[in-house]
Amino acid sequence: MRTVAGMLSFDEIAWLRDNSPAWRLLRADNGPLVLSVLHQVFVEDNVRSISASQLASRLDDELYALNQRLSDPAAPRFPKPTKAYLDDWAAPEAGWLRKYYPDGNDEPHFDATPAVEKALAWVQGLGERSFVGTESRLNTIFELLRQIVYGTETDPDSRIADLLRRRRELDDQISRVQAGEIDLLDASAVRDRYQQLSATARELLADFREVEENFRRLDRQLREKIAGWRGGKGELLDDVLGSREAIADSDQGKSFRAFYDFLLSQSRQEELTALLDTVQQLSAITEAADPRLRHIHYDWLDAAERTQATVRQLSEQLRRFLDDQVWFENRRVIDVLRSIEARALALREQGQVTMTTEIDCAAPAITLPMERPLYSPVARASVDSGSVRDAEEQTDPAVLFEQVFVDPEPLRGGVRRALQRSAQIGLAELIADHPLEQGLAELVTYLSLQDEAFTVVFDEQHRERVRWKEPDGRTRQVALPRVTFARTGGGS
């Protein structure tokens, strides 16, 4: 039990030694083999899912090279088949690989667990470092403290005083630069900050596996609750939907959604790419440059999209699981009805059985059959095709190929980018910023957009006009109910 922040008791350390998959991996006889192979496949190559055949092929090459280098041909260092090693690593008592079957695929796939990332981080921290930076981390601590203190300050005067202080600092820096006094970081300061940048970027990428695993753990808890539920359907649905909202509104869910929205910004991506390219070309870090850091933001996007796909897949599986539970409950109702029928037949054979019943009121409401409306057949229209003649005019079939197709994906992307700046945006304002290029067809596509990140609200009480220019230069306009795109909390 932890009594002081950062301190571990004897009992907690002993429990971790016996139960932690990461600790178990470090103690394993084949630990170096497991760490080297999984590091190369899942960390260096940023693979989030690999088929069993591909992983077995890469492991087989590694085992062959190690057996040739480390042991006699008669007594190989790693004698077991490749599949046996993968099964051992994915077994529950190991917990280093997650073995699963993707939808629509009968071949097993593998992914590394968060325990592998933790073990690799500990092993990498054992190596000696020729340079250990401290200044950049101290600056980071000060900056985080400022964000916490001034980000939670409710007094307007204190907030204004802090903003004025920062403005004076910026004005002072501008004045020095205009006077020719430019403060440059020396080589050691650049390497210090670059070392922290590289470590933080890789740690962030490794954290996605743990975020994904946490979502799966929450989903398993919901399934266990559904499987053991003994209450009504309404209470179950309220509890399940509340739990799903609690996942999205948790600290981890909010942080992940904010990170994903930040990274999806086109301007942020362009700025990040330019900064990384510039940093990689600095002479102070050319020799120690991390080649993976140049494209680390694309790896972040891939990992974040994989996490989003996992959440969508878990939601779909949970819906199917609920449908199965409803089917089982309906089946149970049918069994109860059949047991009642069987009991009634058994009582009828006994004879002289007194049966009583209760009604809610002494005068039940009765609806006579003739009070109901009669069936009215639908009149069928008669069609006479005897007078149909072949058309005299000639039709150009090339007109069929001039039909306009509007791709909705760029329109969805434009709405998402606009909603990153504000909680909602009107259709007229959106079209004013991004004029229609395909006319009425594009306008209709806007009205039919569907996406997890926003909802389309139609206000029948107010009307607005939307104008656009046709390719021939004519201006057209249409009057329609006010249309607003509102941001939701589950799209990310």
State the pLDDT at residue 3.
42
pLDDT at 356 (0 to 100): 72
Residue whose pair of structure tokens reads 């948790």 in the numeric block: 250
Six-digit token string for 459: 């206000």
* Vertex 67: Cα angle to 61 and 70 (nearest 5): 135
What are the backbone dihedrals phi and psi of residue 136, each rounded to the nearest 5 degrees, phi first? -65, -35
Packing angle between helix 251-264 and helix 266-280, nearest 10 degrees? 80
**β-bridge pairing 475-487 and 424-426:** antiparallel
Residue for token digits 């050691």? 188
Do 324 and 223 contact (CB within 8 A), yes or no? Answer: no
SS3 for 373-401, per residue?
A: CCCCCCCCCCCCCCCCCCCCCCCCHHHHH
* pTM score over 0.75: no
* CB hemisphere CA count around 92 (13 angstroms): 0
Whether residue 432 is predicted with pLDDT greater than 50 in this model: the reply is yes
| C-alpha to C-alpha distance for 413 and 264, rounded to whole angstroms | 10
Q: Give the torsion sign (CA, 226, 229, 235, 239).
A: negative
Strand 454-469 and strand 475-487: the pairing is antiparallel
Instruction: Determine which helix (DSSP H) or strand (DSSP E) holds 456, and give its type and residue range.
Output: strand 454-469
Residue 242 has pLDDT above 70, yes or no: no
The pLDDT tens digits of the residues spanning 179-235 come to 888 877 777 777 777 777 777 777 777 777 777 777 777 767 766 766 666 666 566
Mean per-residue pLDDT for 417-436? 86
Model pLDDT for residues 338-360, shown as the tens digit of each residue? 888 788 777 766 766 666 777 77
Please name the helix (run of DSSP H) or strand (run of DSSP E) that holds residue 145, with its range, or none. Answer: helix 135-151
- Residues facing residue 110 across a β-bridge: 50, 99
pLDDT of residue 1: 41
- Higher per-residue pLDDT: 135 or 40: 40
Q: Give the count of alpha carbons within 13 A of 475, CB side only.
A: 3
Which of helix, strand or coil describes residue 150? helix
Q: Is residue 281 scored above 80 in pLDDT? A: no
| Maximum CA extent, the chain | 114
Other Cβ atoms within 10 Å of 197 Cβ, number:
17
Give the pLDDT band (50/70/90) at residue 371. Answer: confident
Alpha helices in 281-426 (DSSP H): 296-350, 408-419
Mean pLDDT check: name the lowest of 19-33, 266-280, 315-329. Answer: 315-329
CA 405 to chain centre: 30
Q: What is the mean pLDDT of the chain?
A: 77
3-class secondary-structure state, position 89:
helix
The CA distance from 165 to 174, in Å, is: 14
Compute the distance between CA of residue 119 and CA of residue 43 in angstroms, rounded to an integer. 12
- Between CA 272 and CA 263 the distance in angstroms is 9
Quickly tell me which residue has 């057949």 as its tokens.
377
Residue 482's CB is within 10 A of a number of other CB atoms, namely 15
Beta strands (DSSP E) in 137-200 are none
| Closest C-alpha among 423, 432, 442, 425 to residue 482 | 425
At 438 the three-state DSSP class reads coil
CA-CA distance, 129 to 306, in Å (whole number)? 33
